[in-house]
Every structure is written in C-alpha cells, then in structure tokens.
C-alpha cells in the first residue's frame, strides 16, 4: 500500500492535467477483467464493478494544487498564478516540477520584505536557473502547469509527501477495485478531476452515475500538533467519518450507518467537524434530487503543502471500513 501511495504521489497532476494519474490507474487495473472503465468529457475516470443491487459511487479526486506560468521576465524569472488553494506561507523556497519535467525554486522579492508578513503570490517568482528570457523560453511557456516537487519521506507508519490530497483517496479506491470481495451492490469507483478548483469533476460524474449512495474519500486536517486549533481529529486514531464541514452537513442516517459498520467490525474511527474546506461529497450530495452521501476523511497534517503527513494505519482502516460498507446490502437499510 505504501508503495502504491509513493507512486501515486510522485505524479504531477494539477487540476485539468490529470491524464498521467488516469494512465497510472488504468495501468494498475489492466488485469481486472471484471471492471468496466470509461472516461468522460471532463476527464473523470469511471470504473464500474457491476452488481444487481444499489448504485454506490466512491469518489476520490486525482488533481492536485499547483502553479501556472503567466509571465517570463527579461532576466528569465517566471511569475505565476496558483491552481487551487495554494497558500503563500506553504511554498516559499519549495522546489517546483513542471509537467514537462523542468524544475525550479520559488522565491520572493526581498526589497520590501517584512519579517512579520508573508509575501503575496504576486510578489513571488520561480527561478528555473535561466540566464535570460530567451533561455527560459527554451524550457517553459505561458500557460505551462506545474506542481510541488515530489519528496516522499518514509517515517515508518507515517509518511510525508506532496498531494496526499487526494492521491491517498485514489490509492484507497484502487486497493478496493483490485481486491476481490463479494458484493451485491453496483459499485462505481470514480476518480474525479478539478476538485481543487471547485469540485467540477464530481459535478458531472455524479450526474452521469446518478448513485443511490455515495462516499467521498479525501483528506482532512488534524488538531494534534502543538498549539493547533481545537479539532478532534488525530493522526493514527482511525478514519474520520465526516459530520460537517464548510460545504456539507452529512445526514444522520448516513453517519449512523457508517458508525455502526465501524463498530460492528471493530474498526477505529473518529467523527470530523471541520471548520473550513469541503470535498467532492458536497457536490455529490446535491446532485439531481439529492444523494445520500458520506465522507471518509484521512487525517492529514500540513494539508496543501509539500509535506502533507498521514498514518498508514488510518489508510488501511479506511480500506477496511469502506469494504464493509460496500459489502452491506443497502436495500435492507431504512432510508437508503
């Protein structure tokens, strides 16, 4: 599992440039003859494991936050815009890897630098080691996308790298798609695009799949580092079953169902009440006439940085929890 995560997080796939992730997922599933695989016009990858029962949509987004080149100055430095919620304090003097393989480092204008404030994105630039504009134009162009350079750090049970948000969700869905387990349900593993810029892939894929029940799998923050916000989610204490975030309130029958499955199978879990941010779950929940939707969140420190950290025990337990949910005959549950 750790190797799968390492491989998935080594891919650069900012929003709208998810094809390398799609290719990796297709390659990983190529021997699974029982799965139907298709792409939609927004780039979502929809993998179906046919069943006679209820339609269940599992969702994880393939895209990551990144950069786009918007200007090359006469000395060969690049000005950039962010793709998704990339925050200035997380990227100063980080290494960048563009989708064409060119590398660089992010720095900032230091003339007016004030130790008490963080430079704005507009005051930053990317240095690709070019000597002037002409030299830079040999390597990059306006509109070129990039992400943070992968730096996988193996800390034992815990790992730290870029884009655990949400390649960890992709890894969990892949593991479930690869595993052979009996289920009556009609299962759709949906790997979505453009989550980080507004949950856009989830919008179209939820519409086309039109599920009876859905689970989004994504990261959430934690409240377990020194002097952090009050937040009852800790690394290593089990998958977090979402109750509420900025974009959705999960309906009580869904929370009760997920909690029951966890308790009946002795899987550790936590309840998540997140103060900001949301997931594809928000978009799926309000699809068409509405979808019963839950979220399994992987507790993750330092979200949206090059050093996101999670605990592999939480990842394994998320696989267990979702597998038990998929095995449940949902038609027997009231309200589903």
Does the footprint of Co ion cover residue 308 (CB under 5 A)? no
Q: What is the torsional sign of CA 277, 279, 283, 289? A: negative
Q: How far is the CB of 167 from Co ion (least distance, A)?
A: 11
Q: Which helix (H) or strand (E) holds 62?
A: none
Does the footprint of Co ion cover residue 63 (CB under 5 A)? no
Q: In sequence order, what are the beta bridge partners of 63?
A: none
- List the single partner that 280 binds among Zn ion, Co ion, none, CB under 5 to 8 Å by kind: none
Residue 35: Cβ-neighbour burial (10 angstroms; 0-12, 13-18, 19+):
middle
Q: How far is the CB of 84 from Zn ion (least distance, A)?
A: 9
Cβ proximity to Zn ion: between 165 and 272 the closer is 165
Instruction: Considering only the stretches 62-70, 71-79, 163-171, 236-244, report the one whose residues sit in contact with Zn ion under the rule CB under 5 A.
Output: 163-171
Residue 324: Cβ-neighbour burial (10 angstroms; 0-12, 13-18, 19+):
middle
**Binding marks (x or -) toward Co ion, 113..132, rule CB under 5 A?**
--------------------
Q: How far is the CB of 110 from Zn ion (least distance, A)?
A: 33
Does the footprint of Zn ion cover residue 308 (CB under 5 A)? no
User: What is the footprint of Zn ion within residues 237-266 (CB under 5 A)?
Assistant: none
Residues 6+ apart with CB under 8 A from 235: 158, 222, 224, 299, 300, 301, 309, 310, 311, 314
Q: Which of 281, 291, 283 is closest to 218 using CA atoms?
A: 281
Query: What is the distance between the alpha carbons of residues 67 and 56, in angstroms, rounded to a whole number?
Result: 34
Does the footprint of Zn ion cover residue 166 (CB under 5 A)? yes
Catalytic residue among 64, 195, 272, 308: 195
Instruction: Examine the residue annotation and report whether 272 is marked as an active-site residue of this protein.
Output: no
Residues binding Co ion (CB under 5 A) = 165
Kindly list the catalytic residues: 195
Residues binding Zn ion (CB under 5 A) = 165-166, 218
């Amino acid at each position: 599992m750790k190797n799968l995560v390492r491989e998935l997080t080594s891919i650069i796939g900012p929003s709208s440039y998810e094809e390398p992730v799609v290719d990796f997922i297709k390659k990983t599933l190529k021997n699974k003859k029982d799965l139907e695989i298709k792409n939609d016009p927004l780039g979502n990858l929809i993998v179906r494991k046919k069943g006679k029962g209820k339609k269940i949509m599992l969702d994880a987004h393939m895209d990551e936050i990144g950069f786009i080149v918007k200007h090359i100055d006469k000395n060969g430095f690049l000005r950039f815009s962010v793709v998704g919620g990339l925050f200035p304090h997380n990227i100063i003097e980080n290494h960048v890897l563009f989708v064409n393989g060119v590398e660089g480092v992010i720095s900032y204008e230091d003339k007016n630098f004030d130790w008490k404030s963080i430079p704005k994105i507009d005051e930053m630039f990317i240095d690709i080691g070019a000597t002037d504009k002409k030299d830079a134009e040999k390597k990059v162009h306006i509109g070129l996308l990039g992400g943070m350079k992968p730096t996988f750090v193996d800390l034992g049970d815990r790992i730290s790298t870029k884009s655990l948000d949400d390649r960890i969700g992709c890894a969990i869905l892949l593991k479930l798609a690869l595993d052979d387990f009996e289920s009556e349900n009609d299962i759709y593993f949906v790997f979505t695009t453009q989550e980080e810029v507004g949950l856009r892939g989830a919008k179209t894929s939820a519409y086309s799949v039109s599920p009876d029940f859905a689970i989004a799998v994504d990261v959430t923050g934690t409240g377990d580092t020194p002097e952090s916000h009050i937040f009852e989610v800790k690394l290593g204490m089990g998958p977090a079953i979402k109750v509420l975030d900025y974009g959705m309130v999960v309906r009580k029958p869904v929370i009760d169902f997920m909690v029951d499955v966890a308790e009946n199978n002795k899987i550790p879990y936590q309840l998540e009440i997140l103060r900001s941010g949301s997931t594809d779950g928000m978009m799926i929940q309000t699809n068409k006439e509405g979808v019963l939707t839950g979220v399994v969140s992987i507790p993750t420190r330092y979200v949206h940085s090059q050093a996101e950290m999670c605990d592999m025990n939480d990842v394994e337990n998320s696989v267990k929890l979702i597998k038990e949910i998929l095995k449940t005959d949902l038609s027997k549950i009231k309200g589903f």
